Chains A and B, each alone.
Chain A
Amino acid sequence: MPNHIKVPPEPASQANIFNLSIEELKEMAKKLRRHVITMTATAGSGHPGGSLSAADIITTLYFKAMHHDPQNPQWLDRDRFILSKGHAAPILYAALAESGYFPVEELATLRKLDSRLQGHTDRNLTPGVEMSAGSLGMGLSFGIGVALAAKLDHRDYRTYVLLSDGECDEGQTWEAALSAAHFKIDNLTAIVDCNRIQLTGWTRDIMNLEPLSQKWQAFGWHTIDIDGHDFNQILAAFKEAEKIKNKPPVIIARTIKGRGVSFMENNAKFHGKAPTPEEAERALKELE
């Protein structure tokens, strides 16, 4: 039976069980980055670049900002994290494993036959994964549905949706942007991981998105521009977003594709290519 059909019991504790300090978050993000390198190198395929750019945002969500319970993935009042950029699955799996949704050893099965860790996310297979994704542009719409359900049920959980900047090419992203403002969705925080690189090159060359913040503003959103690798800024942005009422907030997080590994940084080659064993060894040394 798919895991979403099960109705879970309410957990004993509703407290946020992860509350790392900034220093601890930095160490955790490094650890998750090491997982991304090892996982994709072991699998021989995958998307390390966009996983590394999102690492600090996802670390902050899972180890500080979100209320969630790995022992009870279907807890009805959990904050929801929706990975719209489904190709960044490795960094999400790393965060889920390190926070206790499944054993860390399982990360080595990424993309292998019969693994619960699919190339792109599958909500029926992986504990903690909210949305099956992989075709871009759908996550914000899905998140609006989840956020509307919270309002209908008078639950105060928050929905976080992580988009890539490249996926802002998709028309559906803007359908969702229009409707979130129309429905006054203020219990959702969208985050755009602006690493400025899509599969074949710089976004400005493939399909220019700028001025991106102004576009979201014009669609009726409250925008917060931050450095997506500065934990203080990420945390402050999440707090600011929660205070916005009657309109949806979006965090435009300026990031670096491949962040943390010198030869992967700003390198489109590593959008959808795994490091070789030699490259992985060099990368892991840099991430010690």
Chain B
Amino acid sequence: MVEVSTRETYGKTLVELGKENKDIIVLDADLSPSTMTHFFAREFPDRFFDCGLEEQNMIAIAAGLAASGKTVFASTFAVFASCRCFDQLRICLSQPRLNVKIVATHSGISVGEDGTSHHAIEDLALYCSLPGFTVVVPADAIETAEAVKVAAATYGPFYIRLSRPKTPLVYPEGYHFTLGKAVTMRQGEDATVIAMGIMVARALEASDILARQGIDCRVINMPTLKPLDEEVIGRAASETGAIVVAEEHLAQGGLGSRVAQVVAREKPIPMEFVNLKDSYALSGKADELLQRYGLTAGDIEVAVKSVVKRK
């Protein structure tokens, strides 16, 4: 599959949006060449503010701009965009529901060599806990461009989670993202894999492997974590009778927890979870880490076989 950088796509999409809407303001915290907001900074220097290493300040400045009618994008690495400024997210954005889009790059353990301190694996739990926030994890560059445009056009606080490495394209050009709607990537009857972000390509790979073994596996991409597409989850539970959730996040508070809440209420069935267990990862190359910590197509394959046995 062709691999494209989601953060580069984000940066270029911002430039497009900036041309259309002069009320779009972009903030960064001394990471613009990495978050790729530097494209916007170059094109619109008057509407770009580098807040230095002041993430807390950046979030509250964003709130002040949004309260004055601006649509604000604020970017930094996912670790800093979540853990470093959580109280500011809560008081300045969530409580007053202000129109700020936090687009964080370098999420999960696929950040790689920078190690534990830089692996954002709690961010989705934190953001999903905030009332009023919309949380989106695009699966590839095409979905990223779509999600960023939808965020700009939709009032309210958003968290969009992107990755450091390039991501395989799972969508054709022309794909249309609908906020709050899951996408059935592949039909299947024996089990369902619900995935997000970089795990979607891995889920598709796993379903290929399983198909060769006679297991007909449905694959659902869940780009919007909040609000969650509960209907598609209920349908998958009823129709396939087994669900595996795959995510590059801790077991606590991410996609797995959220899907399980719906399954428990709507249609209790066996579930398995491919995610990070209760510990931090170490330094290493992205692929080495994904393998070491159990986030590969092979891990999804094993989980599907295990959940199918429990049906």
Contacts and interface: CB of A to CB of B under 8 A. Distances in A.
Nearest to A2: B97
Interface in A119-147: 122-124, 130-135, 137-139, 141-147
Given A133-B91, A152-B70, A142 B54 contact: no
A173 B78 CA distance: 23
Interface string A238-250: 0000000000000
Nearest to B87: A135
Contacts of A2: 96-97
Given A132-B92, A148-B49, A142 B97 contact: no
A183 interface: yes
A210 B222 CA distance: 53
Nearest to A5: B155
B57 A149 contact: no
Interface stretch (B61-69, B163-171, B207-215): B61-69
* B interface secondary structure, majority: helix
Contacts of B95: 122, 132
* A interface secondary structure, majority: helix
Most buried by A among B49, B58, B67: B67
A131 B88 CA distance: 12
A178 interface: yes
Contact of A146 (B47, B49, B65, B92): B65
A145 B96 contact: no
Contacts of A148: 49, 61, 64-65
Nearest to B85: A172
A284 interface: no
B51 interface: yes
Interface in B50-89: 51-52, 54, 56-70, 87-88
Given A2-B97, A122-B95, A175 B54 contact: yes
Given A124-B97, A132-B91, A134-B91, A145 B68 contact: yes
Contact of B88 (A138, A150, A153, A179): A138
A145 B67 contact: yes
Interface string B34-47: 00000000000011
Interface in B197-232: none
A64 to B, nearest CB: 24
A134 B96 CA distance: 12
A141 B155 contact: no
Given A5-B155, A143-B64, A171 B70 contact: no
B57 A176 contact: yes
Interface string B281-294: 00000000000000
Nearest to A143: B64
A179 B92 contact: no
Interface string A32-50: 0000000000000000000
B250 interface: no
A175 B57 contact: yes
A142 B63 CA distance: 6
Contact of A123 (B52, B57, B67): B67
A282 interface: no
Interface in A142-173: 142-150, 152-153, 171-172
Given A138-B88, A175-B57, A179-B57, A149 B64 contact: yes
B128 interface: no
A4 interface: yes
B82 to A, nearest CB: 17
B25 interface: yes
Nearest to A157: B68
Most buried by A among B68, B95, B98: B68
B67 A172 contact: no
A178 B51 CA distance: 10
Contact of B67 (A146, A152, A178, A182): A146
A152 B72 CA distance: 13
A146 B60 contact: no
A146 B56 contact: no
A13 to B, nearest CB: 22
Given A142-B64, A152-B47, 4 more contacts: A4-B98, A135-B91, A141-B61, A146-B64
Interface of B: 25, 46-47, 49, 51-52, 54, 56-70, 87-88, 90-92, 95-98, 155
Interface of A: 2, 4-5, 122-124, 130-135, 137-139, 141-150, 152-153, 171-172, 175-176, 178-179, 182-183
16 contacts: A131-B67, A135-B91, A138-B92, A139-B60, A141-B61, A142-B63, A145-B66, A146-B67, A148-B64, A149-B69, A175-B54, A175-B56, A175-B57, A178-B52, A179-B52, A179-B54
For the complex of A and B, list the 3 residue pairs with the smallest distance between their C-beta atoms, beginning with the closest.
Answer: A145-B64, A141-B60, A149-B68
